[in-house]
């Protein structure tokens, strides 16, 4: 049974410091079946992962409610926060 819904929003990726799609794949694998994935525009999302290629974190997020935003700009972020 999937318990939570996560949206994904990317920055535009002009000069990323790592492979953003690879990171998302590894996050999906790590979280397994418990998460249903959707677009950042889907209002059902509990959290929206904002995947930015560098620390500028220039993704436009005004349509994403503040409390849902999870900013990620490096593959070395603390993954335990996603399980909360």
Q: Pick the closer one to other proteins by CB: 27 or 59.
A: 59
Neighbours of 24 (CB within 10 A): 16
Shortest distance, CB of residue 51 to other proteins, whole angstroms? 8
Q: How far apart are CB 58 and other proteins at their closest, in Å? A: 8
Interface with other proteins by CB under 8 A: which range of 30-38, 57-65, 70-78? 57-65
Largest CA distance in the chain: 38
d(CA 47, CA 62) in angstroms, rounded, equals 14
Give the 3-state secondary structure percentages of the chain, helix then strand then coil, rounded to 5.
25, 25, 50
| 79 and 37 Cβ atoms separated by less than 8 Å | no
For other proteins, the binding residues in 7-46 under the rule CB under 8 A are: 8-15, 20-21, 39
62 is a site residue for other proteins (CB under 8 A): no
Q: Which residues bind other proteins (CB under 8 A)?
A: 8-15, 20-21, 39, 51, 58-60
């Amino acid at each position: 049974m999937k318990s939570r819904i996560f949206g994904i929003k990317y920055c535009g990726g002009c000069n990323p410091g790592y492979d953003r799609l690879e990171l998302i794949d590894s996050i999906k694998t790590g979280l397994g079946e418990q998460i249903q994935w959707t677009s950042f525009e889907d209002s059902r999302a509990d959290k929206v992962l904002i995947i930015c290629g560098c620390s500028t974190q220039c993704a436009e997020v005004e349509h994403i409610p503040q409390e849902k935003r999870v900013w990620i700009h490096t593959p070395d972020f603390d993954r335990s926060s996603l399980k909360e």
